[in-house]
Amino acid sequence: MSKKHHSELLADLHMHSTASDGGYSPSQLMEKCINNHLSIVSLTDHDTTAGVIEAMKVAKEHHLRFIPGIELSTRIKNTHVDILGYGIDPHNKSLLSTITFHQQMRIERMKTMIEKSNEQGLSVTFNEVAELAKGDTFSRPHLAQTYVKKGYVKDVKEAFDLYLANGKPCYVEKEDEMTPQEAIELVHQAEGIAIVAHPIFYSLDEDIFEWLTVHHLDGIEVYHRDHDDDAIDRFLKLANRAEVARGKKVFITGGSDFHHESFGREGENIGITKLPYEIGEQIYKAVRNKI
């Protein structure tokens, strides 16, 4: 990689591959990162590390700085909260055992959503969904894509709006989810640093402050495609307040949360979130000795 001025360098620390609910294989995703002139990236698939080694290999071949990652599903106060883990050991036994359990829970949830789909007149089989879920982690977008493929809806957004969003007829709650505190501990057991993802989705600022100051959460995803300037300012202030209270650095991170152009959110693309490169470099340096 030729040397560039920091103002020209780009980092994106939140993206998904076909190992969970993304649209590109880990290798293809890294190629997209290279083509989009990124310098530091992390693959953060939902509840799986299955794509990490493949992505790391391609990234290394192209001198792309790569951080092994994961996004763990948790729930607290009837709110779904995602915890990102950076610099994790993808072979850690505790991590693998836990995510295997939760992958099985996702399969059971998918079977129930398929039953509900059939009750709504949407004829879908588990095998049809499995053809689109190329990895081990089954998610609602896989079922939504099946609806699209069979002509029941025009796109993934309509599938969620009509059937799969919370409160819609085919939605099923996840069961036996970890708490954020358990996910934080699991990330640490896997030698990583734990970050709360896209906090704009939750109304839990004071809980996040407690996790940062009491439960050893390491940081906050401040820069995200769904965070406007006011949200960025809000979470920067929260991070600073927690840093003073704990007397220890609070990491801030960010990324596009990329899945795919056609079934991701409107305007979603790799590198679209303007994460200051220096912040990406801080995370990379913090976990480099663990990679």
pLDDT the model gives residue 290: 61
Residue 24 lies in a domain: yes
Chain mean pLDDT for the chain: 91
Q: Look up the domain containing 216 and give its range.
A: 10-99+179-290
Decide: 194 and 287 in contact? Cβ < 8 Å: no
Q: Are 89 and 63 in contact (CB under 8 A)?
A: no
Q: What is the pLDDT of residues 19-35, one digit of tens each?
A: 998 889 999 999 999 99
Give pLDDT, residue 141: 87
Residue 1 has pLDDT above 70, yes or no: no
* C-alpha distance from residue 78 to each of 51, 74, 139 (Å): 30, 10, 19
Flag whether 236 is in a domain.
yes
* Contacts (Cβ under 8 Å, ≥6 apart) of 92: 189, 190, 191
What is the dihedral sign for C-alpha 227, 231, 237, 243? negative
Provide the pLDDT for residue 2: 45
* pLDDT higher at 21 or 87: 87
pLDDT tens by residue, 36-52:
999 999 999 999 999 99
Which residue has tokens 């693959």?
43
Give me the helices (H) in the chain, please: 26-35, 52-61, 93-119, 126-132, 140-149, 156-159, 180-189, 205-213, 229-246, 277-287
Q: Would 229 be classed as within a structural domain?
A: yes
Residue 289 has pLDDT above 80, yes or no: no
What's the rounded Cα separation, in Å, for the pair 268 and 220? 21
- Taking only the tens place, the pLDDT of each residue in 66-85 is 999 999 999 998 899 999 99
pLDDT at residue 269, rounded to an integer: 82
The token pair at 40 is 């530091």
Identify the DSSP state of 139: -
Question: Does the pLDDT at position 5 exceed 70?
Answer: no
Beta bridge partner(s), residue 36: none
Q: Is residue 252 part of a domain?
A: yes
Give the separation between CA 147 and CA 163, rounded to whole angstroms: 10
Tell me how far apart the alpha carbons of residues 186 and 251 are, in angstroms, rounded to a whole number: 18
* Residue 147, domain member (yes or no): no
Classify residue 60: in a domain, yes or no: yes
Q: How many domains does the chain have?
A: 1
Whether the per-residue pLDDT at 267 is higher than 60: the answer is no
3-state secondary structure of 20: coil
pLDDT for 230: 97
Report whether pLDDT(263) > 80.
Answer: no
Is position 214 within any domain?
yes
Question: Can you tell me the distance from the alpha carbon of 148 to that of 142, in angstroms, rounded to the nearest whole number?
Answer: 10
- Better-scored residue on pLDDT, 4 or 150: 150
Token pair recorded at residue 160: 């969620």
Q: Structure pTM?
A: 0.86
| pLDDT-derived band at 4, boundaries 50, 70, 90 | low
Tell me: pLDDT of 14 over 50.
yes
DSSP state letter for 51: T
pLDDT tens by residue, 204-250? 999 999 999 999 999 999 999 999 999 999 999 999 999 999 999 99
The whole-number average pLDDT for the span 77-106 is 93
Contacts of residue 115, Cβ cutoff 8 Å, sequence gap at least 6: none
CATH number of the domain encompassing residue 40? 3.20.20.140
Is 4 a domain residue?
no
pLDDT band at 176 (very low <50, low <70, confident <90, very high): confident
Q: b/e map of 63-97 (b: 16 or more CB within 10 Å)?
A: ebbbbbbbbbbbbbeeeebbbbbbbbbbebeebbe
